[in-house]
Amino acid sequence: MRGFGILRLIIAVAVWAGSPANALTIARKGEAKAVVVVGADATEAERHAAAELASFLEQITGAKFETASPPAGGATIRLLVGPGAAKLAESDFSTEGLGSDGIVIRKAGRDLILAGGRPRGTLYAVYTFLEDELGCRWWASDASTIPSKETVKVGKLDVRYVPVLEYRESFWFDAFDGDWAVRNKSNGNSERLDKKRGGKHVYQGFVHTFYPLIPPGEYFKDHPEWFSEIGGKRTTDHAQLCLTNEQMRKELVKNLKERLRANPAATIASVSQNDWRRNCQCSSCAAVEKAEGSPAGLMIRFVNAVAEDIEQEFPNVAISTLAYQYTRKPPKHVRPRHNVIVRLCSIECSFSKPLADERNKAFRDDIVGWSKMCNRLYIWDYTTNFRHHIMPHPNLRVLGPNVKFFAEHNVKGIFEQGAYTTNGAEMAELRAWVLAKLLWDPNRDGEKLIDEFIDGYYGAAGPHIKEYLKVTHDAVEAGGDWLGCFSAHTAKFLSFETLSRGWKHLLAAEAAVENDPDLRFRVQVAQLPVMYTFIMRWDQMRRNAKAAGADWPMHESARKTFERFVEIAKKKNVTRLNEHTAGYGPLEEAVKRAKK
């Protein structure tokens, strides 16, 4: 089963050429032997699923596949796409229990059923079939592997799978592409998923919505009591709202309802703290926080009240709030309502160790607490370095264990925040793809997924890329660095010895694919993090090389190294080196400081 988790385990048998006599021959020697069938009641997403199936089968086999409505022209083999078409083979076919994303892939006599829950399940059934049975892979928005095979046979096949996670968002810049997202089964707020691609979970206000809902410029003058009391004085300066003020809550609910009426697609509305601390310390708020043993108790009481207020008019909208920084510790008494989502944030954690490790005990204790009281617990996780997007960030070994850890603690949705403002962040495509696979099936082996991506995306350079990543990951483990999401470029593991060893593997990777322009460029992009770190620490690296009696691996000139970096980065459309600052300013300043 190659460690492919639940989805693989429930596939009985799936074979192509050499199948037994009762196998379905979909194509033989480049000629289509089946027709794609969609029901008369098919949704736009199901019709798109049928078109995608026909298109990729043509790419694989070279055959043109007809797409038809019942009765499908008397074809002997039918690929039945969607619940309506599935009833042609099984009159009692039902999507009950599949939710919006669950899938069914089943051989039924001379038919193959590819269907699922609405709106996205049928799309996911088609892509799962193309991936797991035919070998298609969509690594990035501009990179895929579509195998070539003139004859395709399918033997016994019976899959029914409902993903554990209802919300799955790989929040990386390239992953916003709609085709990539639906093919890799991401359904989060930021992906460009239209109705044809199954839609997505839509937020009204994504996060940090206190001030958008109660703007200080509009309300503070007449209602200072609606805002935080700090040191006996009401303030809006990096503050929050006074959550025991009932008049403020009524105004917030009024404003929220107006926004929801203007955004009928929304299924989740954010009512969440601003992105800083300074929560209200008035006597009423302080008393509730003390009674609950955590500021989260007051937050949940407030959000529960908002959720109750909007429920009658918006029964299908959940209210989302954060367990973040000062609200991370779960409360003693209050419990989130059924229509409240709590998003627990891992921002303080060390990502060089799994979250289940003792180093992350405080977070582990909090997720255990929340998992016991929250029906819809979501996670806001961090998988990049916001301070230095293009710098080695050896967290790949924890991705699989962390997603599995979340799923084992009653988590229903995961938002994996990465480098979302630019292309070209360190191993961005790898992280986005691996995370998407893990979110669909948390039991997948993260290490095997990493290897699969590297082999598929880098080709013959793959073994050298793996060695480079091993160098940086071994270094962070050996040095014991606290790998946060705001790590400095002076981290211990970013030593001259580590980076120069890694650089040798990256040069070998480029040499291995020197005659393939596409693969060579992918390797050059993978080289940017080491170049970046050398430039940022140029003089120190020079001293360390001299002290070690080692050869200098970069160009002799910091300026020339910078120019080479910018040449590759611009070709990759890198627009930021960190979360917020556009351009290459930090590197330019480092070059000016360099002595050579």
Q: Which of 76, 161, 83 is nearest to 111 (CA)?
A: 76
Would the CA dihedral through 108, 186, 328, 211 be positive or negative?
A: negative
Q: Which of 363, 368, 568, 398 is nearest to 483 (CA)?
A: 398
- Residue 73's pLDDT is 52
CB atoms under 10 Å from CB of 232, counted, come to 7
Question: Alpha helix locations (H) across 76-169?
Answer: 83-86, 121-132
Q: Return the domain boundaries, the chain.
A: 5-162, 202-331
- Residue 5's pLDDT is 40
Q: Which residue has the tokens 């989060």?
A: 188
- Residue 15's pLDDT is 35
Question: How wide is the angle at C-alpha 197 spanned by C-alphas 194 and 199, nearest 5°?
Answer: 55
Question: Which regions in the chain score pLDDT beneath 50?
Answer: 1-19
User: What residue ranges in 207-337 does DSSP mark as E strands?
Assistant: 229-230, 233-234, 268-270, 318-323
Rounded-to-integer distance, Cα 420 and Cα 425, Å:
9
- Residue 10's pLDDT is 38
DSSP helix/strand/coil, 469: helix
3 state SS for 442-465: CCCCHHHHHHHHHHHHHHHHHHHH
Q: Which of 71, 37, 31 is nearest to 53 (CA)?
A: 37
Q: Which amino acid is at 581?
A: T
Q: Is 413 exposed, middle or buried (0-12, 13-18, 19+ CB in 10 A)?
A: buried
Work out whether strand 143-145 and strand 318-323 pair parallel, antiparallel, or are unpaired.
Answer: unpaired
- Residue 65's pLDDT is 96
DSSP assignment of 171-200 equals E-GGGG-HHHHHHTT---TTS---GGGT--
Cα dihedral: 363, 365, 367, 371 (round 10): 180
Work out whether strand 103-108 and strand 78-81 pair parallel, antiparallel, or are unpaired.
Answer: unpaired
Rounded-to-integer distance, Cα 134 and Cα 131, Å:
6
Rounded-to-integer distance, Cα 188 and Cα 171, Å:
8
Q: Which of 356, 351, 376 is nearest to 366 (CA)?
A: 356
Rounded-to-integer distance, Cα 332 and Cα 120, Å:
38
Rounded-to-integer distance, Cα 206 and Cα 271, Å:
9
Binning the chain into helix, strand and coil, the percentages to the nearest 5 are 45, 15, 45
Rounded-to-integer distance, Cα 23 and Cα 109, Å:
9
Question: How wide is the angle at C-alpha 391 spanned by C-alphas 526 and 350, nearest 5°?
Answer: 120
- Residue 217's pLDDT is 97
Asked if residue 147 lies in contact with residue 133, where contact means CB atoms within 8 angstroms, the answer is no
DSSP helix/strand/coil, 441: coil
User: Which DSSP helix (H) or strand (E) runs through 401?
Assistant: helix 396-407
pTM assigned to the model: 0.94
Buried b (16+ CB within 10 A) or exposed e, 504-540: ebbbbbbebbeeeeebbebbbbbbbbbbbbbbbbbee
Radius of gyration from C-alpha coordinates of the chain? 26
Architecture of the 5-162 domain: 2-Layer Sandwich (3.30)
Q: Which residues have a Cβ under 8 Å from the Cβ of 8 and sit 6 or more positions away?
A: 1, 2, 132
- Residue 36's pLDDT is 97
Tokens matching residue 547: 């002290």
